[in-house]
């Protein structure tokens, strides 16, 4: 038997992206984004959704570019801080000691300390309600040279995900599950 829950987000989990941009003055900024994910494979695209009230929204609208940086579980404190503080009021890179690096491919910085960086140009913008969705075409992907071939990146970097439903917490990804039909 099922019970009606109403119109609720019951999607588990959502990836965490550290979305990095340059603001109007050229200052690097970063924001934790939990509303996003893969939205197209050819061309490779991801979506991120932010509220208009954020400093990042204005940078996205002006620069039409961003990087999506994948944090590992070791960066949980930074992920939490980036999701609460505003780049309008403080320099998040200076406060955390993380390093913004100018992308060669898009008008946005990537975060040196993150193992995977997706450099994206915005190709579509959709006003959805409380959030604005930005579709970013991945122009280039960077990965740490020490990531090993043949081992899934997800197992090497232990990415952080967000639990939307009941608890609104961050989690790290566990081990792979291999269905019997795949053996």
Domain residue spans of the chain: 14-182
Q: What is the pLDDT of residue 167?
A: 66
What is the rounded CA–CA span in Å between residue 8 and residue 12?
12
Percent of the chain, pLDDT > 90?
Answer: 75
Helix (H, G, I), strand (E, B) or coil at 73: helix
Q: Which strands make up the sheet holding 160-162, listed edge to edge?
A: 14-15, 160-162, 170-172
Rounded mean pLDDT of 124-140? 97
Q: What is the mean pLDDT of residues 132-147?
A: 97
In the structure, how many helices (H) and strands (E) does the chain have? 4, 12
User: Which one has a higher pLDDT value, 163 or 109?
Assistant: 109
Residue 183: per-residue pLDDT: 60
Better-scored residue on pLDDT, 49 or 89: 49
For residues 163 and 24, which has the higher predicted lDDT (pLDDT)? 24
In this predicted structure, the answer to whether residue 11 has a pLDDT above a threshold of 90 is no
- The predicted pLDDT at position 166 comes to 59
pLDDT at 53 over 90: yes
Q: Which CATH class is domain 14-182?
A: mainly beta
């Amino acid at each position: 038997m099922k019970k009606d829950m109403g119109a609720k987000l019951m999607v588990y989990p959502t990836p965490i992206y550290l979305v990095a941009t340059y603001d109007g003055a050229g200052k690097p900024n970063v924001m934790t984004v939990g509303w996003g994910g893969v939205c197209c494979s050819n061309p490779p695209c991801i979506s991120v959704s932010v509220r208009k009230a954020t400093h990042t929204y204005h940078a996205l609208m002006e620069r039409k570019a961003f990087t999506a940086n994948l944090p590992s579980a070791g960066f949980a404190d930074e992920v939490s801080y980036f999701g609460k503080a505003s780049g309008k009021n403080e320099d998040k890179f200076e406060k955390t000691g993380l390093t913004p690096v100018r992308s060669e491919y898009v008008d946005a910085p990537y975060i040196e300390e993150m193992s995977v960086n997706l450099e994206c140009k915005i190709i579509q913008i959709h006003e959805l309600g409380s959030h604005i969705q930005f579709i970013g075409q991945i122009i280039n992907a960077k990965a740490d040279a020490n990531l090993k071939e043949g081992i899934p990146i997800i197992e090497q970097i232990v990415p952080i995900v967000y639990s939307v439903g009941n608890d609104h917490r961050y989690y790290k990804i566990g081990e792979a599950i291999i269905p019997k039909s795949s053996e």
